[in-house]
Chain A
Amino acid sequence: MSIELVKEKYAGPVNTLEIGKPGLKSGPIVIGGETGLPFMFREGEMPNRPIVALEILDMEPTDWPPALMGAFGNAIKDPVDWAVECVSRHNAKALCVRLQSIHPDFGNRSPDKAVSVLKNIIERAGVPLIVVGCGDDERDNDVLPKASQALKGENCLFGIATQSNYKTLTATCLADGHSIIAESPIDCNIAKQLNILITDMGFDPSRIVMHPTTTALGYGMEYVYSIMERSRLAAFIGDKSLAMPFLLFVGAETWKVKEAKDFGEAQGVNWEVATSAAMVQAGADMIVVRHPGSAKTITAYIDKLIPRSSGRDK
């Protein structure tokens, strides 16, 4: 007697989101749209393959380990050169610019200066941009609206909205036509609540990306995996307030831990790749990494997992 495979059939897809505008060197990119758990092609579709973006800062990093800095040579001294290097030499499909220079501890740079760097980056690099603040709410609420306005029409992804600080960024993204990153601390209840709070302001839910926060390999990423899976399963049975694509800042988490930063470049890259691979398996639609070697390996890994007939090439 033959045994029939038990296949799940789900009701609701993950939202599809486009970042960037036509006419860029690369992009626009499209993420989301899954109708089943990752890489379960017998149960659902994955029309858009997960995207790997490279993260840069808007200043020369002062606290990055040498194992990471070395990958970019002298280009890392200037954010615009660094961005161009990521795209031309490392084939980045998208860039994430972290506005570290505006942080009180990292230079407290003026909004005008930060905005002009951003504008140069998008002009010279020509790929879809993710723009995230420095993490200081006061500075972010001052600078991000100006950055958003300056990039109006570029269809960027801006972050980071949290449950305690989402109104300014939501309003500004709404006004300038950008998408938004909603962050929750490994907590699907807060993720859902924040998505609702943002949509209550009139924001289109299909323009929200969830950042469930993450940890590096060895620091409890299994829990991140289970939270992402739980959110996804809810989305698939029709919970529209959790049907947003996932973005994970794997690089920022990985290069903080000693196992990645203190044992040479190869181990750091391996640490970033291993963490990314797990997050892609957990349902990440977009991974932001820091080392170009990791980006290359994880992209190849995704390509290997997706059969040729499936997944739209972007």
Chain B
Amino acid sequence: MIVIGELINGMYKDVGKAISKKETDLIQHLAVDQVKAGANILDVNMGPYTTDPKEDMKWLVESIQKVTDVPLSLDCSNIDVIEGGLKLAKNRVVINSTSADQDKMDRIFSLAKKYNSQVIALTMDKAGVPNDKEKRVELAAVIVEKALEMGISMDDLYIDPVLLPVNVAQPQVSIAFEAIRDLKLISDPAPKSVIGLSNVSQRAKNRSLVNRTYLVMAMANGLTAAILDPLDKELMDAMITAELLLNKNIYCDSFLDAYRKR
């Protein structure tokens, strides 16, 4: 499983404040803590309250890169802001994200090509998030076709079937499992799959339990990556155990420790 740490996000009050006041310490601690807890990639999202997104993105990328070398996922809807971050990034970046709209894919995939980046693509378009599996898979096929046409390899493409909160759109939540499974059938080699895990439990009770149960079920359906909170130890334990039960790692009595020592 590829773990994309979600905690550097301006939506969180303390992070939003740290971004506006340029408190490097808090951001750097969050980066290091997430990597220590098992994040392979760090998501960087300034949140909705930024007044100078370009500068904030640059500051975030520079601050994080001073303390860790893991790849960053630049999470922003403004392409110029993403490009500002791409220019500063030392490692390969994941651009987060494009929709399945042709004009948006044109611009994002061109940017990915130019900077040799990976891309997260959402199975939604101007019409919104589809409410069935078929439409999601159809949009995924559109994304794959466009990516291949523009020379993006399937190894570098993450498709996100768009996870909705269980307390808002319950039937959609199980449909996403089916979409994850069917993504594997679109092409050979297949694109990667990713979910924004915490969405499933937005405003729900017992979030951690909902998150980890969903993650394990999604993994059983073939999920390759998730944007999640790596500091949720029970969530990470469940993920490690699921990998074990899916025969991705060799069992030993200290399997949790063994995984963390990798």
In chain A, positions 219-249 with a C-beta closer than 8 Å to chain B are 230-231, 234, 238-242
In the complex, the answer to whether A196 meets B250 with C-beta atoms within 8 Å is no
A190 at the interface (CB under 8 A from B): yes
B residues near A (Cβ < 8 Å) are 249-254, 257-258, 261-262
Give the complex CA separation of A189 and B254 in angstroms.
Answer: 10
- Residues of chain A within 8 A (CB-CB) of B254 are 193, 196-197
* Chain A residue contacts of B251, Cβ below 8 A: 189, 192
Question: Please, how many angstroms separate the alpha-carbon atoms of A207 and B251 in the complex?
Answer: 22
Chain A to chain B: the 4 pairs with minimum beta-carbon distance, closest first: A192-B252, A193-B252, A189-B251, A196-B254
Q: Tell me the smallest distance from the CB of B53 to a CB of chain A, in Å.
A: 36
A to B CB contacts below 8 Å, 27 in the list: A188-B250, A189-B250, A189-B251, A189-B252, A189-B253, A192-B250, A192-B251, A192-B252, A192-B258, A193-B252, A193-B253, A196-B254, A196-B257, A196-B258, A196-B261, A197-B254, A199-B261, A230-B250, A231-B250, A238-B262, A239-B249, A240-B262, A241-B252, A241-B258, A241-B261, A241-B262, A242-B250
Which residues from A are CB-within-8-Å of B250? 188-189, 192, 230-231, 234, 239, 242
A interface residues, Cβ below 8 angstroms from B: 188-190, 192-193, 196-197, 199, 230-231, 234, 238-242
**Nearest neighbor of B249 in chain A, beta-carbon distance:** A239
- A14 smallest CB distance to B (angstroms): 15
Q: Note all chain A residues with C-beta closer than 8 A to B253.
A: 189, 193
The closest CB in chain A to the CB of B250 belongs to A234
Cα distance A192–B252 in the bound complex, in angstroms: 6
Partner of B252, one of A190, A199, A230, A238: A190
CA distance A238 to B250 in the complex (A): 11
B residues within 8 A CB of A234? 249-250
**How distant is the Cα of A231 from the Cα of B251 in the complex, in angstroms?**
11
Please give me the residue from chain B that is nearest to A205 by CB atom: B261
CB distance from A72 to the nearest CB of B (A): 41
Q: Please name all residues of chain A whose beta carbon is closer than 8 Å to the beta carbon of B258 when the two chains form the complex.
A: 192, 196, 239, 241
Measured CB to CB, the closest approach of chain A to B255, in angstroms, equals: 9
B249: chain A residues at CB < 8 Å are 234, 239
Q: Are A239 and B262 in contact, CB atoms less than 8 angstroms apart?
A: yes
Give the most central of A188, A189, A193, A240: most B CB within 10 Å. A193
